[in-house]
Every structure is written in C-alpha cells, then in structure tokens.
C-alpha cells in the first residue's frame, strides 16, 4: 500500500481536451501527481489517454485538432461510439479517484495545483465528478503566483523549459518545476 500523505496535499493536474467549453468539450488526456505543501513528491505520476467519441472528435474545432496532431496526441486517441466514450469516461474517473484515495488519508484536503488550473478544475467538474468531489475548493495557480511575483518584485522567475507542449504530463511537470523555482527564489528573500 502506498505511503499516506498528510492531510494537506497538492494534486498537480493538467488536462488536454477537445476544446475550451466544460460540459461540451471533453478531457482526452490527464496527468497528475501529488506533493505536500513544500513540493515534496509522493508516489508515481498518473497519466492516461481518454478516448472521446467519433462525434466529439468531429465537433472539435480545427485549431484544437491541428494542435493535437502536431503534438502527437491525436494519434493516440482512439475514437469510440458515444456510449463507449461515456462509459470509458466514467471508468477513468473511478480509476483516477481511486489512485488519489490510495495516497491520501481520510481527513485529507486535496488542493488542485497547476498553471491556469481553474480550467482543469472546471473540466474535472464536468467530466470526472467522482474525482472532482475529492477536491478542496481552493486552487494553487502557478500562473497567478508568477504574475504576483512579477508585480511585487519586478523579477521574472527562471522560465527555462516552461512552455506548453499541450501534452498533459510534460505541461504539469513544467508547472511544478516553475512553482519550485518561484518558491526557491522567494525563500531567499530577506525578511523586512
């Protein structure tokens, strides 16, 4: 059995989707991992491709299709019938929720973390309600922290390697590294 984390954990998640409208568009790739509030990793990353229906893929706007063809994700998405896609999404929701539950204690608070994570939060609400039910209402948005740091200190944290590939695992790993870079820089500041 995996080691249980303390009650306050960060669930780093990135989703790739068929578009930008939760409830209409769907998650086609998800990746995540857990850390404590200090950024210490716990367990192995989670990464899954989630097939959509033929109809959902056909309704995907051309820009998103082009993006997913360019990054290789389109080649991994095996379109299903509508009923198969609905059943598959429900199964993926259960698998992800069980993966999370297997690593946190019963009294946990799971705070979703990532870049522009409000989007992922809403996509989880629409496509993965069982997983969504595990989440605390607070979010840790790395993009917001970056803007705050820039406006207060005038510094731009090292962004080397931080750029979206629009692949879930790579993007969430980049967000985590970016967070750790900001955290490290802020911890070096002299107290006033």
Query: What CATH number is given to the structural domain containing 166?
Result: 3.30.420.10
In a domain, 146, yes or no: yes
In a domain, 3, yes or no: no
| SS3 assignment, position 188 | coil
CA dist., res. 72 & res. 69, Å (int): 5
Counted domains in the chain: 1
Q: How sure is the predictor about 9, in pLDDT bands with cuts at 50, 70 and 90?
A: very high
CA dist., res. 11 & res. 172, Å (int): 10
pTM of the complete model:
0.90
In a domain, 159, yes or no: yes
C-beta of residue 8 within 8 angstroms of C-beta of residue 36: yes
Span 146-183, pLDDT tens digits: 888 888 888 776 554 556 789 999 999 999 999 998 88
């Amino acid at each position: 059995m995996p080691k249980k984390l303390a009650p306050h954990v960060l669930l780093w998640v990135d989703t790739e989707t068929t578009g930008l409208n939760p409830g209409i568009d769907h998650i086609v790739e998800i990746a995540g991992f857990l850390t404590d509030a200090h950024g210490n990793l716990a367990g192995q990353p989670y990464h899954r491709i989630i097939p959509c229906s033929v109809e959902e893929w056909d309704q995907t706007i051309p820009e998103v299709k082009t993006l997913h063809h360019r990054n290789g994700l389109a080649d991994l998405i095996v379109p299903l019938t509508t009923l198969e896609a609905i059943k598959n999404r429900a199964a993926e929701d259960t698998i992800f929720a069980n993966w999370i539950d297997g690593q946190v204690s019963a009294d946990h608070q799971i705070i979703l973390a990532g870049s522009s994570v409000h989007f992922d939060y809403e996509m989880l609400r629409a496509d993965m309600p069982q997983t969504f039910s595990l989440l605390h209402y607070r979010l840790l948005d790395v993009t917001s922290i970056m803007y705050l740091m820039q406006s207060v200190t005038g510094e731009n944290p090292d962004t080397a390697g931080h750029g979206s590939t629009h692949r879930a695992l790579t993007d969430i790993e980049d967000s985590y590294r970016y967070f750790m870079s900001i955290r490290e820089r802020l911890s070096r500041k002299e107290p006033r």
